[in-house]
Amino acid sequence: MVEDGPETTRRVAPAWEMLQRTRCVDMLNLAHVRSDTALYGLLTQDRRCRIRARSLLRWVRWPHATGWDGYLRSRSGTHRRKVGQMRRRLADRGRIGFEVVDCADSFAGLVDWILLHKSARMASQGLGGEEPFPAYCREFLRLAGRQIRGRSRFVVFLLSLDGAPVAALISCIDGKRVEALIVTFDDRYAAVSPGQTLFAESSIRWALERGLEFG
């Protein structure tokens, strides 16, 4: 994780070079590299790299969006009705709660919950192999939540039902944006789409009300 600034490219470049030297692979596939990042700039200058596809990603940007109400009005009536319907159906099952968790100890515990449910979800879809999130991945996220603090930090957006987690999103927050990283939900509530409620109503709203981009 490197903050934006005049030193960004200088810091990212040696990390990229080390990755190439130390990983014994014939081909490296980098998916979802944003075009406004230092890594993308380095890749476009490297003759060994090929950009296979470009795609547009949905992104809420402040101040072009006029706050939460303006963003909501910009979405289709069908989308708003569906989100409202799913939230009401979820509320029929209990009391909905939302919080942003950045306490290091609580964050570490939620990492385990998130990766457990994400792994189960991927397995049900035939994705990820036997162990999609090995031990070093879990340890990295736990340490990131504990050590990356201040202006840039890792948090979990947590949606709960009667105090128990039903959907969660690991995100990185800096001075400009909220960047969504890993999202999952409890499959027992799949019929009422808790992940959609977490994203569409809670996380995006939290970001916009604080003048942050969300993507």
Q: Tell me, what CATH number does 204's domain have?
A: 3.40.630.30
* Model pLDDT, residue 188: 93
Token pair belonging to 38:
């230092």
In the chain, how many domains are there? 2
Query: Does residue 17 surpass a pLDDT of 60?
Result: yes
How many Å apart are CA 57 and CA 29, to the nearest integer?
A: 18
Give DSSP secondary structure letters for 90-102: HHTTS-EEEEEE-
Q: What is the pLDDT of residues 134-174, one digit of tens each?
A: 888 888 888 888 776 666 788 999 999 999 999 999 998 88
82 with 122, same domain? Answer: yes
CA 94 to chain centre: 26
Pick the last residue of a domain from 57, 77, 93: 57
Residues 191, 103 share a domain: yes
Is 91 inside a domain boundary? Answer: yes
Band (212; pLDDT cuts 50, 70, 90) = confident
* The pLDDT value given to residue 10: 77
Residues 57-109: tens digit of each pLDDT: 665 554 555 678 888 888 888 988 998 999 999 999 999 999 999 888 888 88
Cα 36 to chain centroid, rounded: 17
pTM for this predicted structure? 0.70
Q: Under a CB-based contact definition with an 8 Å cutoff, are residues 12 and 38 in contact?
A: yes
- Token readout for 161 is 């039902």
pLDDT, position 72:
80
Final residue belonging to a domain, choices 35, 57, 79? 57
Q: How does pLDDT run across 119-137, given as a tens digit for each residue?
A: 888 888 887 667 778 888 8
